[in-house]
Amino acid sequence: MTIDLSTLSPKARAEYIRIGRQYGSTDTLAQANQTLTGLGKYTPELVRHGFSLGDGTRLEGARDGLVEAGVGRADKVGIRKVTSHAYVDALAHGKARREDARSILDNAKRALSDSVDATAVDGVNVIKTALKQTRSAGADGDKLALQLETLRAALGDPNVAAEVAGRGGPDAALDLGIAADALHAASQDRAGAPGTPAETELLNLLDGIIVGLVRGARKAARPAAKRLGTPALMADFELTKLYASRGSEKALPAPAEAPAVTPPAGTTPPGA
């Protein structure tokens, strides 16, 4: 049974596609299978902590959607997504430049806070805003690029520039611009796929839905494991498969059989 995608709002659909672009379909398929295996053992326990039977059904449907789209089949090599070394390298480099700039701005904020100059307060506010907006981007290259541009603008602000001039600010601003451009270019290359735009969008959508659900299952598994005093419960819900191929070119493996989802007696299995 595949998932009914027609019920998604345009906003939700766009957000799932955005998330799905960050993951390879072979990885999300493997993670969905692993999480469904865990649900076959612990569905009632996770239900008590927020992951419903409906969530399990939805995960199973999204997994089946990937299988039907050809993920895991050698004869469907035209329908795949690539996570390139260039993208991962650009992401790591961008994060390093972000931390450099944040360190410079944080030190400049301290100095400006001590100043009696009338423009110092404005400079402190500019820096506070920039630091607040650039804390984390996860694996989202476009978001990270925007953060780098935000930091670059803060370094060049008239109320900040003089203070950061002797703290590596000009060089950092230059590096931020280069890193942001590299991220934009890598993100565009990474979005490309040999399949049609419609096929790629469907994979991205299903991947995004799966990512959200397996994360939700993991969150529910944590308190369940603590309540039961069985840390081993977490093994099936760790996101080890989701990041298995991060940083390498990924081709489709041989088809993997869907795991049987068979909760303990007296419960309703996901997808039933």
**pLDDT band, very low/low/confident/very high, at 191 (cuts 50, 70, 90):** low
Q: What is the pLDDT of residue 10?
A: 92
Amino acid 73: pLDDT: 60
The residues, ordered by sequence, that sit 6+ positions from 92 with a Cβ below 8 Å of its Cβ are: none
- In this predicted structure, what is the pLDDT of residue 196? 61
- Average pLDDT, integer, range 36-42: 94
Q: Which residue has the higher pLDDT, 186 or 171?
A: 171
For residues 220 and 198, what is the distance between their CA atoms, to the nearest angstrom? Answer: 33
- For the stretch 99-149, pLDDT in tens is 999 999 999 999 999 988 888 999 999 999 999 999 887 767 788 889 999
CA 67 – CA 26 distance, rounded (Å): 10
What confidence score (pLDDT) does residue 263 get? 45
Contact of 57 with 35, CB cutoff 8 Å: no
Return d(Cα 238, Cα 157) in angstroms, integer. Answer: 44
CA-CA distance, 99 to 71, in Å (whole number)? Answer: 37
Number of other residues whose CB lies within 10 A of the CB of residue 95: 17
Average pLDDT over residues 45-56: 95
260: pLDDT confidence band, cut at 50, 70 and 90?
very low
**6 pLDDT more than 80:** yes
Q: Quick one: pLDDT band at residue 72, thresholds 50, 70, 90?
A: low
Q: What percent of the chain has pLDDT over 70?
A: 80
Whole-number pLDDT of residue 51: 96
pLDDT at position 272 is 39
How many angstroms separate the CA atoms of 162 and 156, rounded?
A: 9
Q: DSSP states of 104-125 as a string?
A: HHHHHHHHHHH---TTHHHHHH
Task: Please give the pLDDT value at position 246.
Answer: 53
Whether 197 shows a pLDDT value over 80: the answer reads no
| pTM listed for this prediction | 0.56
Token readout for 115 is 């100043």
What confidence score (pLDDT) does residue 9 get?
93
